[in-house]
Structure 1
Amino acid sequence: MRLAKGNEQDRGRDARLPASSHPGNLLEFLAWVGAKPRTFADTMEAWRTSCPRLSAWEDATTAGLVGMTSQPGVPRAQAIVELTAKGRAALRLARPPAVPPAPDLPKH
């Protein structure tokens, strides 16, 4: 059962980060979520805050950057938090893959 996903039409579209969140904090949150499966309980323990300047969870869910999946009968605490297509695109745009250094050219 999908608990929160974001609009299917928005998949990857308009992947800008919300203006209300501190960009570095939100990017760190998205990278943390994207690194491996996280439960809702783990996410809340690590990221819930009462500081409005560090509202990564709230901003990411409101912007459709993260969603949760769960099987019927599974408690919400055990639901899996994951990046949406829009969240993956936002992270990719903000942190493009590192370009490997060019190989040394042979000396003549």
Structure 2
Amino acid sequence: MTETADPLVLDFVEWIAREPRAYSEVIGTWKTSCPRLTIWEDAADRGYVAREAIAGFGLIVTATEAGEKLLRAHGRIA
């Protein structure tokens, strides 16, 4: 069965997959006041992105294996 993906979640995971992002950059760029647009939360809950603490840098957000698999399945990365 093919998983249906929200286009905004795909965009978000693709943006993260290009390079690890600082957590503050992710929240600043993708925050929304609309409770129906839970892009960051949806991607994290589905295991497409993960937060990791890096000494001297702080929290970063990266695409997980599941996130990269999602992108490949939708033709977003080779």
Structure 2 length as normaliser, TM-score?
0.81
Residue number in structure 2 paired with 1:103? none
| SS of aligned partner of 1:30 | helix
Instruction: Point out where structure 2 has 5 or more consecutive residues left out of the alignment.
Output: none
Could you list the structure 1 runs, at least 4 aligned residues long, displaced by more than 6 angstroms after superposition.
Answer: none
Give the AA of the match of 1:67: A
Judging changes above 3 Å, is the alpha-carbon distance between structure 1 residues 17 and 44 closer, same or farther for their aligned structure 2 residues?
A: farther
Structure 1 length as normaliser, TM-score?
0.61
Residue number in structure 1 paired with 2:37? 54
Give the paired residue count.
78
Instruction: Point out where structure 1 has 5 or more consecutive residues left out of the alignment.
Output: 1-13, 99-108
Percent identity, aligned pairs only?
32
Which structure features the higher share of strand residues? 2
- Post-superposition CA distance 1:60-96 (Å, at most 9, x none): 1111110011135x57xx3110011111101110125
